[in-house]
Each structure stands twice: as C-alpha cells, then as structure tokens.
Amino acid sequence: MDYVICSRRGKKVEKVRLGHREAGRIVGKLWAFRWDDDIYFAKVGLWRRLKLRLFGRVYIGRIKRPEWKAPLPIYLLRCKKHGIYYVCYPMGYRGYFVCPRCLEEGR
C-alpha cells in the first residue's frame, strides 16, 4: 500500500505517493522516504543534490529499525532505469544498492 503525503508549494497542494523504500521531495530541502510502515524525513540541500546528480547517490544518515542489530547508513539514490528516487543501505561485501522496482521485476 502506498502512503500519500500532502505538501504546499505556494497555493498548490501536491500529493506524493511513496512505495516501500521510495523517496520524494516534499518542500524545498525536505525529502521523505518510506521504510515498511514508517515514514522518515531528511534534509537534502544544494550540495547533496549536486552529489546526487553527479554520482547517483548521496549519504543521508543512519536509521535504526527494530529488526536490525545496529543503525545502518542510508543513501538516497536514483535508478537509471526507472528514474525514481529510492533509499537503500549498502548490501553485501561490495556495498551494492538495489532499486525496489528492479527487484520486483527480477522476481
């Protein structure tokens, strides 16, 4: 199930739908992302947006989930194939990232 977050940009109300691990810009520097049933917020300023555009990923912080033993580093990334923004933590020994939509297509 997707969550809907409403934001005001000027006089317009915009709806942002977030699937699991998807991210969206809310207002100005504020971005929101969903992990399972929780919604988290992060500030992504000009420098981080520039890094995201140049390198395709940017570190936004650490989060602690109840099922994890310790807080994990979370990155904001953009999928080249689908053009969506998503969040992920480095997986495996190589520290690779997997887009949630690419993962669904692989099943």
Kindly report, residue by residue over 45-97, the tens digit of the pLDDT.
Answer: 999 999 999 999 999 999 998 998 999 999 999 999 988 899 999 999 999 99
pLDDT tens digits for 28-56?
A: 788 888 888 888 889 999 999 999 999 99
User: What does pTM read for this prediction?
Assistant: 0.83
Cα 61 to Cα 71: distance, rounded to the nearest angstrom: 9
The residue ranges of every structural domain in the chain are: 3-106
Backbone angles phi, psi at 103, to 5 degrees: -65, -40
Pairing mode, if any, of strands 38-43 and 30-35?
Answer: antiparallel
